[in-house]
Amino acid sequence: KEPDEGELEEEWLKEAGLSNLFGESAGDPQESMVFLSTLTRTQAAAVQKRVETVSQTLRKKNKQYQIPDVRDIFAQQIELKETAPDDTESQ
């Protein structure tokens, strides 16, 4: 399996010693700003772009949307019909 762009960026940031800028290990945002202020504008922009790419990848992985099974959807509707009072019996 080839690593996606987010995984490559994550690896680059870790090797550069910048893992504290993203994910669960992300520190104080103010500390990050102080660190980024020590870089040139070009360097800071490159680092921020990599951090954004990693963050997007992590969000996508954490989302893990599951498509509901059709049997589950119709089972819910049948249960609702069974528990609802039947108007035809009272007439």
Q: Is the pLDDT of residue 91 over 70?
A: no
Would you say how long the chain is, in residues?
91
pLDDT at 86: 56
Q: pLDDT digit string (tens) for 24-33? A: 666 677 777 8
pLDDT at 89: 54
Q: pLDDT digit string (tens) for 38-76? A: 889 999 899 999 988 988 888 887 776 677 777 777 766
- Element containing residue 33 per DSSP (H, E): helix 29-37
pLDDT at 65: 66
- Element containing residue 57 per DSSP (H, E): helix 41-63
pLDDT at 24: 65
How far is the C-alpha of 54 from the C-alpha of 5, rounded, in Å? 8
Q: Is 23 exposed, middle or buried (0-12, 13-18, 19+ CB in 10 A)?
A: middle
How far is the C-alpha of 59 from the C-alpha of 52, rounded, in Å? 11
- Region of poorest pLDDT, from 3-12, 14-23, 75-84: 75-84
